[in-house]
Amino acid sequence: MALSVKQMMEAANAAVPKITAAQAREMIEKGNTLVVDVRDAPEVEKSGKVAGAVHVSRGMLEFRADPESPYHDKSFSKDKTVILYCASGGRSALAAKVLKDMGYDQVYNVGAFKDWAESGGAIEKP
């Protein structure tokens, strides 16, 4: 059965908790947390990213997150809390669901980069 984007978003939002920027900051302060920016490179170059975040475009996420992949990024570990964001929260929700499907347990969607920035979250400028 074919799925629509709306159905995929509903499934992702049901599987992955949406958190606030304040909740994300608390998790980051506790340590053992990976923040992942799944936007495309031109978006990151234009606005910067969450301080300390790893940039992995949505299209490469599975390859970076899988330890068996030759493209694995050692930042990814299933014992870490993983917080994802994008421009509006859609790509990060879908990406977070994929990580859940891959066996990552502690996965959260903080949503939009703009909300992080407007809440006073630390940013690394390009």
Tens-place pLDDT, residues 1-45: 899 999 999 999 999 999 999 999 999 999 999 999 999 999 999
Question: In 3-state terms, what secondary structure has residue 53?
Answer: coil
- pLDDT for 41-61, tens place per residue? 999 999 999 999 999 999 999
- Is pLDDT above 90 for 126? no
> Exposed, middle or buried: residue 70 (CB in 10 Å: 0-12, 13-18, 19+)?
exposed
* Percentage above 70 pLDDT, the chain: 100
Q: What region, left, alpha or beta, does residue 55 occupy, with left being phi > 0 and alpha being psi -120 to 50 degrees?
A: beta
d(CA 95, CA 36): 10
What residues does each domain of the chain span?
5-124
Q: Are 43 and 125 in contact (CB under 8 A)?
A: no
For 5-124, CATH gives: 3.40.250.10
